[in-house]
Amino acid sequence: MMKKLAILVAAVALIAAPFGLKPYGIYLLSLWAVMTIAAIGLNLTLGYAGQISLAQGSFVGIGAYIAALLTTQGWPLGLAFAAAIVLCFAIGWLLGYPALRVAHHYLAFVTLSFATLVFLVLRNEEWLTKGVYGISGIPRPTLAGWSTKAPLDFYFFCLLILALVAAAAGWMIRSPWGRAFTALRENPIRASSLGVDTRRYTLMAFAIGSALGGIAGVLYAPLVQFIEPTAFALGLSLNLLLMVIVGGAGRFFGPFLGAAVSVLLPEWLRFSEGLYLMLYAVFVMLLLAFCPSGLLGLGARARKSWKPSSKSAN
């Protein structure tokens, strides 16, 4: 009940938030929505299924380039969504194969090299991506007569997609699929002894998480309206990883909070001028040192110390 009320309040706040903000503020809110979608995807892969990936930013990049290339040629953004979902799902599935053989740090390195590979393709294959010159003039879509050209309209468009993605992810996490993902994260051998096809779920975790990264990318391109390869280099992947962990990996609302910390906090700290990145870094270090389960873990810990759990001995 409390949870439903909190969600309602947050939804109202998100709808009311952009009014009275300057275009830059609305841009930041839109960026938050886009990054939250990508982080929800990574949270499925990492938080629920337990497979570390340093390549989520690359899928945002793939999605963004698909959107930029198609819409600057006059194709509708809807087609870009479809193409990005299919392609990122397929590539994510393939990226899952190494995860069947390696785990943890080793998997981090495999996905790291994939991220580097995607960056090099985006930078070097000029015939397709225009390399370091980037792609500019990416149009914003018009949906059934509703033009999303103005920042405010585009923000609501991002919010709508975020709501759809969140609803789909929420449904999946509650379904037997979500349970199988958690089982896979907690102990693959136990999971397989119950007949959970750990192989298929590992690949699925990568494929679905990557497809959500692609969706975020398709929104990112018309948001910024200019893309170039360095935006999707390793930095973005690390940032998305940070969002998931700061928010609370394996918790549904973790990515929402984590993305807020990563996108908005540096801006709020701008009053400190040159110091703001340092303050931000210190905040993140303190949080992870004292609460490795993230901001939402902080809440759970507070509740636990209020009423001790009824752990009984054998």
Partner 1 sequence: MEAEILALEGVVGGYGKLTVLNGTTFKVARDTITTVIGPNGAGKSTLFKAVFGLLPVQRGRIVFDGADITNLDPHALLERGITYVPQGRNVFPELSVLHNLELGMTAAGPGAPVAARIQSVMQRFPMLREKARAQASTLSGGQQKLLEIARALLLEPRLMLIDEPSIGLSPRLVQEVFRILQDLRSRGVSILMIEQNAKRALEISDFGVVLELGATRMQGAARDLLVDPRVGQLFLGGGTL
Q: In angstroms, rounded to a whole number, what is the distance separating the alpha carbons of residues 186 and 194? A: 13
Shortest distance in whole angstroms from residue 115 CB to partner 1: 29
Per CB under 8 A, does 292 bind partner 1?
A: no
Contacts of 111 (CB under 8 A, 6+ apart): 52, 53, 54, 55, 95, 98
**How many amino acids of this chain bind partner 1 (CB under 8 A)?**
23
Contacts of 150 (CB under 8 A, 6+ apart): none
Indicate the DSSP class of residue 55: -
Closest CB to partner 1 among residues 130, 185: 185
- Between residue 249 and residue 288, which ones bind partner 1 under the rule CB under 8 A? 250
Closest CB to partner 1 among residues 73, 314: 314
Closest CB to partner 1 among residues 271, 311: 311
Shortest distance in whole angstroms from residue 137 CB to partner 1: 48
Q: DSSP string covering 73-138, please?
A: TT--HHHHHHHHHHHHHHHHHHHHHHHHH--HHHHHHHHHHHHHHHHHHHHH-HHHH-GGG-EE-P
- Between residue 36 and residue 95, which ones bind partner 1 under the rule CB under 8 A? none
What are the φ/ψ torsions at residue 136 (nearest 5 degrees)? -115, 175
Q: Which two tokens stand for residue 181?
A: 């993902």
Per CB under 8 A, does 293 bind partner 1?
A: no
Shortest distance in whole angstroms from residue 198 CB to partner 1: 10
Closest CB to partner 1 among residues 73, 193: 193
Q: Applying CB under 8 A, which of residues 38, 49, 180, 223 lies at the interface with partner 1?
A: 180
Q: Which two tokens stand for residue 313?
A: 């001995």
Shortest distance in whole angstroms from residue 307 CB to partner 1: 12
Q: Applying CB under 8 A, which of residues 124, 136, 187, 272 lies at the interface with partner 1?
A: 187
Interacting span for partner 1 (CB under 8 A) from 100-108, 129-137, 174-182, 219-227: 174-182
Per CB under 8 A, does 194 bind partner 1?
A: yes
Shortest distance in whole angstroms from residue 308 CB to partner 1: 11
Interacting span for partner 1 (CB under 8 A) from 102-110, 153-161, 175-183, 282-290: 175-183
**What residue has token string 């945002």?**
60
Interacting span for partner 1 (CB under 8 A) from 144-152, 220-228, 231-239, 304-312: 304-312
Q: In angstroms, rounded to a whole number, what is the distance separating the alpha carbons of residues 123 and 121? A: 5
Per CB under 8 A, does 197 bind partner 1?
A: yes
Helix axes 234-247, 254-268, angle to 10 degrees: 110
Q: Any idea what the Cα angle at residue 251 is, between residues 30 and 307, rounded to 5°? A: 130
- Between residue 217 and residue 256, which ones bind partner 1 under the rule CB under 8 A? 250
Per CB under 8 A, does 190 bind partner 1?
A: yes
| Contact call for residues 198 and 50 (beta carbons, < 8 A) | no
Q: In the chain, at which residue ranges do the beta strands (DSSP E only) sit?
A: 135-136, 142-143, 146-147, 226-227
| Contact call for residues 141 and 135 (beta carbons, < 8 A) | no
Per CB under 8 A, does 192 bind partner 1?
A: yes
Shortest distance in whole angstroms from residue 176 CB to partner 1: 7
Q: Applying CB under 8 A, which of residues 196, 211, 245, 263 lies at the interface with partner 1?
A: 196
Can you give the binding site for partner 1, defined by CB under 8 A?
176, 179-180, 182-183, 186-187, 189-197, 250, 309-314
